[in-house]
Amino acid sequence: MDNTSSFFDLVGFDMDGTLLDTSGDLAAAVNHALESAGRPTLTVDRVTPMIGGGARHMLAQGMAATGGCTDAELDVLHRRLLDYYEANMVVLTQPYPGALDALDALAARGVTLAVVTNKLEHYARRILDELGLTARFACLIGGDTLGPGRGKPKPDPIIEMIARCGGQRPAFVGDSIYDVKAAQAAHVPVIACSFGFLDRPVGELGADATIDGYGELMPALERLSAI
């Protein structure tokens, strides 16, 4: 059966834990801040569930896990984290297995691609630039693109993605409750990645579909597009 005519014409992706495995570099930045405060460091596995709500939120959870902190302390350590991360963004970061093949397959079907992340826009753009991926995407929306308080789980970034890309049948792919809630609030079908930075079992995110790897993305989109 040919679903080309009804297939999604715009697919947006979260970045951290969805398109890219950024866990090693983000954990290193968190641990740099923790060490500077005399705190014990955390394993990558401990840090990954903290990722998704932006750097300050991630660090706040790291500080809470090692004894807590005041807002003033968090302000100072947040700056240290960002300074370190700016200098070490793409040391370990790389696309998930099969991600680039999936992007190629979507592009071959004429699907417009976008990135919507809670990472600061200029950080996200620099990472995509360094990995040679920027040209694949029609737009990039970061956590600060629309102003304070308008990142995911608000629907605003997803709605802006649609406005910028002109999609009539959009879908979104993410790995966190922020992604799922944002897409649902924007009335956009959403697929959750079980291999991402989950803070709960993927089945509890409430996504329309889940995938265990990028080889499952096209079939999942096919099924959703037929609904």
* Catalytic residue of the set 2, 9, 14, 208: 14
The stretches of 66-153 forming alpha helices (DSSP H) are 71-87, 99-108, 121-130
Our answer to whether residue 83 is catalytic in this structure is no
Sequence-distant (≥ 6) Cβ neighbours of residue 147 within 8 angstroms? none
104 backbone dihedrals φ, ψ, rounded to 5°: -60, -40
- Are residues 33 and 193 in contact, defined by beta-carbon separation less than 8 angstroms? no
Distance CA 147, CA 149 (A): 7
Contacts of 208 (CB under 8 A, 6+ apart): 189, 190, 191, 224
Residues with catalytic roles: 14
